[in-house]
């Protein structure tokens, strides 16, 4: 039974304030959760409440969300059974009363939602992944490691936001981390040798002064090979061009590269990249408002490439169902703060799996030391996680948590491997 709920303003990986919540149960069990924050957000995400007071944190303070927890949500959920996650979450969404959680703030609600689950897990003396996922929660996800950053996450000219490596051929999660780390360091050396900066972007990947996706993909493929791995077999490539960020007036405006592509030309370009490079998965290949482009691309590439909807679905079950009906994407990115409660997040994952869509658990570009999503990836058995590069503790904290979970599961642990992406080639 929930006895105490306290929120505070802490600092995230970009140095911006965010919400942290402690939930305490009557037996003394404590759960703590910190809320992440995106930069390239989808238009239909649940609302992250910011104060807009220019005298604090350049307007980015989250005191209103903190107050919403301490003054309103705390009263409403105190006395509720922490094990009844659905009731706790429903109490908050009803108290909020809006479709987008704009009243209390999704950042307020999510903090309480996740901290409640963690407190309940503690009370049961269970790790979070087993409390949420049950006895069969033992599938370790393939990590999608974002080793080249561009777009809204770096100040280089790269139009595409993320270039990732996924060690599908690893025998275990720990081995996947080792492979990723080795490639990360090979890439560092080759970027330096070519005269590029090896400073990193928001998600810990390098942010070199490259202009085109081809240049980035060449560097990554060569780094995989030079490290001694086979591209496409041991390690496959994944991109998140985050196209909603550069879709303007019906065209894809590649400002870094200095070209504009119509939706058809943009689709041709993506298809060409998939033909030329071992790219097994593309997230947000089309913009959130370009439904026609999404449908056409899914029909064209969907049988040989995982096409993951981030901005187009916003972890929202209703948006996902509409997309399934319309033939949009074959995979969904899941970000807990896009929807704002654990209950709704799990419902979206279930709906995706029922429709044969793959699921990728994901961080945000603004993160904290909180590792909840690592446990949720195992709890849902989704088989894939995207949580940044092999540097910056806000990113590696999640990978390290998965290493611990794998160790704890011992012989029962299974590594998702290439099947997780629904790969057919
Ligand atoms: P965001 O980026 O957290 O800035 O939205 C991550 C993504 O687009 O997947
Ligand atoms: Zn994305």
Q: Is 386 annotated as a binding residue?
A: yes
In this predicted structure, the answer to whether residue 138 has a pLDDT above a threshold of 70 is yes
Q: In the chain, count of helices (H) and strands (E)?
A: 14, 16
> Residue 174: which residues within 8 A CB-CB, separation 6 or more?
403, 406, 407
Q: Does ligand 1 come within 6 angstroms of the Cβ of 364?
A: yes
Tell how far the Cα of 38 is from the centroid of ligand 1, in angstroms: 5
Q: Does ligand 1 come within 6 angstroms of the Cβ of 38?
A: yes
Read off the pLDDT band of 424 (50, 70, 90).
Answer: low
Tell how far the Cα of 40 is from the centroid of ligand 1, in angstroms: 5
Ligand 1 pocket test target in 287, 362, 363, 365 with most atoms within 8 Å of CB: 365
Average per-residue pLDDT in the chain? 97
- Locate 189 and state its tokens: 């050396």
Q: Does ligand 1 come within 6 angstroms of the Cβ of 146?
A: no
Q: Does ligand 1 come within 6 angstroms of the Cβ of 41?
A: yes
Could you give the CA distance from residue 380 to residue 368 in angstroms, rounded to a whole number? 22
Q: Among 101, 118, 335, 398, which one carries the catalytic annotation?
A: 335
Catalytic annotation on 335?
yes
Task: Please write the tens of the pLDDT for every residue from 331-364.
Answer: 999 999 999 999 999 999 999 999 999 999 999 9
Could you give the CA distance from residue 5 to residue 67 in angstroms, rounded to a whole number? 11
In this predicted structure, the answer to whether residue 299 has a pLDDT above a threshold of 50 is yes
In this predicted structure, the answer to whether residue 72 has a pLDDT above a threshold of 90 is yes
Q: Check: CB of residue 31 under 8 Å from CB of residue 119.
A: yes
Q: Check: CB of residue 5 under 8 Å from CB of residue 77.
A: yes
Q: Can you give the C-alpha Rg of the chain in angstroms?
A: 21
Task: Please write the tens of the pLDDT for every residue from 8-17.
Answer: 999 999 999 9
| pLDDT, position 278 | 98
Catalytic annotation on 203?
yes
- Locate 34 and state its tokens: 């910190």
Tell how far the Cα of 248 is from the centroid of ligand 1, in angstroms: 19
In this predicted structure, the answer to whether residue 6 has a pLDDT above a threshold of 80 is yes
CB under 5 Å of ion ligand 2: residues: 240, 242, 283-284, 310
In this predicted structure, the answer to whether residue 217 has a pLDDT above a threshold of 50 is yes
Following DSSP, what letter does each residue of 373-411 receive, concatenated? HHHHHHHHT--EEE---SSSHHHHHHHHHHHHHHHHHGG
Q: Does ligand 1 come within 6 angstroms of the Cβ of 242?
A: yes
Could you give the CA distance from residue 223 to residue 176 in angstroms, rounded to a whole number? 15
Task: Please write the tens of the pLDDT for every residue from 142-179.
Answer: 999 999 999 999 999 999 999 999 999 999 999 999 99
- Three-state DSSP state, 96: helix
Read off the pLDDT band of 425 (50, 70, 90).
Answer: very low
ipTM of the complex: 0.98
| pLDDT, position 149 | 96
Could you give the CA distance from residue 41 to residue 44 in angstroms, rounded to a whole number? 8
> Residue 89: which residues within 8 A CB-CB, separation 6 or more?
109, 113, 341, 342, 343, 344
Q: From the CA of 203, which ligand is nearest?
A: 1
Could you give the CA distance from residue 64 to residue 202 in angstroms, rounded to a whole number? 26
> Residue 16: which residues within 8 A CB-CB, separation 6 or more?
37, 57, 60, 366
In this predicted structure, the answer to whether residue 20 has a pLDDT above a threshold of 60 is yes
Q: pTM above the 0.80 mark?
A: yes
Ligand 1 pocket test target in 16, 39, 154, 331 with most atoms within 8 Å of CB: 39
Task: Please write the tens of the pLDDT for every residue from 232-252.
Answer: 999 999 999 999 999 999 999
Q: Does ligand 1 come within 6 angstroms of the Cβ of 39?
A: yes
Task: Please write the tens of the pLDDT for every residue from 376-410.
Answer: 999 999 999 999 999 999 999 999 999 999 999 99
Could you give the CA distance from residue 283 to residue 110 in angstroms, rounded to a whole number? 24
| pLDDT, position 422 | 84
Tell how far the Cα of 84 is from the centroid of ligand 1, in angstroms: 30
Q: Does ligand 1 come within 6 angstroms of the Cβ of 365?
A: yes
Q: Among 45, 48, 83, 203, which one carries the catalytic annotation?
A: 203
Q: Is 3 annotated as a binding residue?
A: no
| pLDDT, position 423 | 65
Task: Please write the tens of the pLDDT for every residue from 78-133.
Answer: 999 999 999 999 999 999 999 999 999 999 999 999 999 999 999 999 999 999 99
Following DSSP, what letter does each residue of 206-246 receive, concatenated? B--S--SHHHHHHHHHHHHHHHT--BTTTBEEEEE--GGGT
Of 73, 102, 117, 188, nearest to 372 (Cα)? 117
Tell how far the Cα of 124 is from the centroid of ligand 2, in angstroms: 35
């Amino acid at each position: 039974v929930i006895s105490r709920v306290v929120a505070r303003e802490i600092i995230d990986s970009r140095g911006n304030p965010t919400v942290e919540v402690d939930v305490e149960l009557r037996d003394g069990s404590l759960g703590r959760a910190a809320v992440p924050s995106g930069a390239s957000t989808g238009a239909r995400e649940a609302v992250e409440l910011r104060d807009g007071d220019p005298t604090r944190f350049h307007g980015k303070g989250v005191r209103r969300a903190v107050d919403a927890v301490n003054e309103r949500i705390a009263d409403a959920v105190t006395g509720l059974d922490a094990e009844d996650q659905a009731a706790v979450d429903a109490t908050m969404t009803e108290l909020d009363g809006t479709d987008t959680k704009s009243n209390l703030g999704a950042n307020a609600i999510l903090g309480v939602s996740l901290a409640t689950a963690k407190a309940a897990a503690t009370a049961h003396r269970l790790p979070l992944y087993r409390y949420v996922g049950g006895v069969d929660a033992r599938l370790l996800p393939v990590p999608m490691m974002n080793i080249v950053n561009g777009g809204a996450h770096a100040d280089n000219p790269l139009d595409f936001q993320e270039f990732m490596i996924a060690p599908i051929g690893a025998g275990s999660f720990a081995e996947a981390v080792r492979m990723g780390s080795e490639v990360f360091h090979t890439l560092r050396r080759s970027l330096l040798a070519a005269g590029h900066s090896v400073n990193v972007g928001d998600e810990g990947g390098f942010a070199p002064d490259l202009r085109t996706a081809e240049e980035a993909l060449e560097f990554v493929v060569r780094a995989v090979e030079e490290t001694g791995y086979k591209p496409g077999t041991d390690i496959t490539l994944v991109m998140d061009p985050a196209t909603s960020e550069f879709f303007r007036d019906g065209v894809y405006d590649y400002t870094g590269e200095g070209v504009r592509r119509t939706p058809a030309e943009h689709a041709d370009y993506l298809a060409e990249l998939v033909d030329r490079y071992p790219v097994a998965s593309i997230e947000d290949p089309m913009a959130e408002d370009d439904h026609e482009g999404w449908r056409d691309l899914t029909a064209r590439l969907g049988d040989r490439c995982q096409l993951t909807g981030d901005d187009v679905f916003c972890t929202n079950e209703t948006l996902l169902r509409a997309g399934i009906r319309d033939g949009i994407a074959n995979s969904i990115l899941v970000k807990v703060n896009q929807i704002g409660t654990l209950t709704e997040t799990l419902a979206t994952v279930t709906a995706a799996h029922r429709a044969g869509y793959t699921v990728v658990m994901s961080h945000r570009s603004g993160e904290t030391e909180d590792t909840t999503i690592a446990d949720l990836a195992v709890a849902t058995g989704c088989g894939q996680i995207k949580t940044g590069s092999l540097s910056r503790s806000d990113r590696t904290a999640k990978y390290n948590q998965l290493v611990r979970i794998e160790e704890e599961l011992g012989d029962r642990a299974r590594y998702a491997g290439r099947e997780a992406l629904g790969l057919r080639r």
